[in-house]
Each structure stands twice: as structure tokens, then as C-alpha cells.
Structure 1
């Protein structure tokens, strides 16, 4: 076994000695986006739903309305060829107004939920470093990888019941995330590009503070590490290069 290791070391060292102790794999770094350019852009998403006496699986008599809205502007500067640093601000808002929901899990297990309303909004900011790599000799298509740190702060109000049975819960949520987001970009012309990125969670920390009926208080913290790619978290956006 020792002789085999020695032979492998000699085989690997001979080519390096012949090149003056320089290890060259033949990879040529090409400029996809040059130093000195600015990148500005934004992503936007909106969805809404309305259910009227809707039935699905074990859910009956579903009556609800709601929407989700998110906008995220971004700006960055290329400090070197194919390397940019920048920041992003995101604002999201959502509403779920559930008039009625019946769950039927069997003859002896069923319950109803009604008069439930959840309103929430959140603001987050992130700092990122992004590196680009063009596909072959193409100046139109390229890959990028974004490493970022994000802090978010949000509030939500939950109302349950009506009249004298009305209960209200106010919640403050904070989160800190360290993650990466690989993606692909496509230039429409010399100044405009569309891009798609997939979030890879990384490290995530969350803090919750609740107060119910202005009397009862509660706290919750959570943390996790996850480097799985979530195909449902694809973000689409348009960017301008100046």
C-alpha cells in the first residue's frame, strides 16, 4: 500500500515539475460582465384566491379570500470582472380571511373553523456577493451564484371569533438567514437581462414574540441548517446593466 501511494505522488508531481511547479487544468476565465458596471432590477409577485362553498379532499364548505404580495428591488456594483457586491430590500404582505372551514376526518373526528383572519407584512434587507460564469463563448447566457446574509422584521395580527368571543393575537417575527442562490441569466440586449434563481436555505434563525388579548404573552425561537434545493422557490426577475 505504501509503494502505491509513493508512485501516485511521483506521477502527480512530474507534470507539475515540468511546468515550473504550476498546476494548470486548462480552464480559461472569460469576462461575462466587466468591472465598473452597475446592476439594478426588481422582482414582483402577486396572487389571490377566493373560495365559495369549495370542497377538497377532507375539507368541506370552504369559504375564504386572501392574497399575497411581494416586491424586491436590488442594486449592485461590479468590483471586478464577473464579481459584484450589492444589496436587496424586500417587502411582502398577505391576508387570509377564512369565513368557514369544515374538516371531516371520520365519523368520530370532525370539527369546524370559522371567522379567522390573518394579516401580515414583513420587510427584509440583504447584502450579497455574486459571481458570474458565461456558458462557453456565449455573451448572452450565463450562470451565477449568490452568497447572501438577510435580516427580516415582520408583524402579523390574527383575529379569531366574533363578538364577545373575539380573540386577537399580535405577533412580531424576526429572522436571520445565511444562504446561497444559484441561478441563470439571459441578456435580451446589451443592457437588459432576465434571470431565474433557486433559494438554497443555508442557516436560518427565527424569533417570535406574541401577545394575545393584550394580556397573555408567548415566545418561540427556532434554528435550522438545510442545503437542499427547493424547486418551488424559483425567483424570476428583470435587471438592467448600466
Structure 2
């Protein structure tokens, strides 16, 4: 074995030893923004279709190296041409990190429920309850012993929404699968041991 191979193996082993995450708590949060683009109106005018912003603080525990369980609490605000909507969520999750070292790709599976209210420009206001299950791939980057950054890039989501019109009391239930190629979110996390 030449000295460069030995040096690289020693460096990789040192990185793996330093990056053991077992029995660590992580307090984190993510934020994402999705622009709805523009819509061509019947009169030829282009209007902004709206946007969605979501913040989601979370608490997780690494039960072993590379495997974390946790819960997130989210708030989502959507504004579009029809009105605006507020949604709160409670989402338990499990996350598996692939590989070792300071930079780890991961897969996060989450499922949970939410509730909210809609305020429409034309038509009736409503309330909604939802159940979601989502898979999100991403990257976790350990910056220091206490801080990390993460980013997710896409998502596969199943959503069941039960919406009720507050004026007519009519209820509609919808089931929907959705794949978002660019469902990007960024977050930071504080890591500690008790």
C-alpha cells in the first residue's frame, strides 16, 4: 500500500469517526418558497399566479448513526388569484442518511395531519383538514460539531384533503398524488447531546 492510499484511508476513517451522530438531538427548521408563476388572463394581461411560503421547525433524535426520528410543526401560507389560505401541520418523520462523513445524502419519510382556513375573493370561505405522506431526498452538511445545514430538492406526496364550505356546509374530499421535481427547501440545525 503506498503512502497516498494510506493517507486517504486515514482521512476517511477520521472523518467517519468524527461524524458519528448516534444519540444526538437536533433542533432544526426549514423554509421554502414556491412561486406560482404568471397566468395569461382572457384580456391578454399577465398576472402573478401567487406564491406559497412554508416554515417548519422540527425536533429529531438520532437513534443510531444515520437514522433519526422526529416531529415537525409547520405553517404554510398560500396566496393566489382566488384568495389566501393558512395551514398548520404536525408531521412525525423518519430520516435515513446514506454514507458517512460531513456531507450525507438522506431520504426523509414523513406523514401527518393538518388543518386550516381559506379566505376567498369570490365565493365562500372554507376550512380544511388534510392528511399527507411525503418522501423527500436531500443533503445534510455538518458544518461544525454543533451546526448543520440541509437542503431538500424534490418530493413525492400523497395528500387527502377534506374541505368544507363555511356558508353552505358542503364538504368535498380529494385524494391526490403529486411529484414536484423542484420542491426546494433549506434549513439549519443545532445539534446537542443530553
TM-score by shorter chain over 0.5: yes
Shift of 1:59: 5.3
Aligned to 2:78, the other structure's residue is in SS state strand
Paired position in structure 2 for 1:232: 182
**How do 1:14-163 residues align onto structure 2 when only pairs under 5 Å count?**
32-45=19-32, 56=40, 60-62=44-46, 68-96=52-80, 118-134=83-99, 139-160=101-122
Change beyond 3 A, Cα 1:204–1:120: closer
Give the RMSD, CA atoms, in angstroms: 2.9
Residues 31 and 185 of structure 2 are in contact (CA less than 8 Å); yes or no, is this contact kept in structure 1? no
User: How high is the TM-score relative to the length of structure 2?
Assistant: 0.75
**Radius of gyration: which is bigger?**
1
Paired position in structure 2 for 1:178: 133
Higher relative contact order by CA 8 Å / sep ≥ 6: 1 or 2?
Answer: 2
Q: Deviations over 1:170-201 (max 9, x none)?
A: 11111112232221112222222221123221
Structure 2 Cα separation of the partners of residues 132 and 125 of structure 1: 22
Structure 2 Cα separation of the partners of residues 67 and 59 of structure 1: 22
Shift of 1:65: 9.4
> Does 2:137 match 1:199?
no
Paired position in structure 1 for 2:172: 220
- Higher mean displacement: 38-47 or 174-183: 38-47
Q: Deviations over 1:82-129 (max 9, x none)?
A: 211100011122334x5xxxxxxxxxxxxxxxxxx6121000110011
Residues 146 and 190 of structure 2 are in contact (CA less than 8 Å); yes or no, is this contact kept in structure 1? yes
Shift of 1:60: 2.6
Change beyond 3 A, Cα 1:123–1:192: same
Structure 2 Cα separation of the partners of residues 42 and 59 of structure 1: 42
In structure 2, the gaps of 5 or more residues are: 1-15
User: How high is the TM-score relative to the length of structure 1?
Assistant: 0.61
Change beyond 3 A, Cα 1:169–1:57: closer
In structure 1, the gaps of 5 or more residues are: 1-29, 99-116, 161-167
Aligned to 1:95, the other structure's residue is in SS state strand
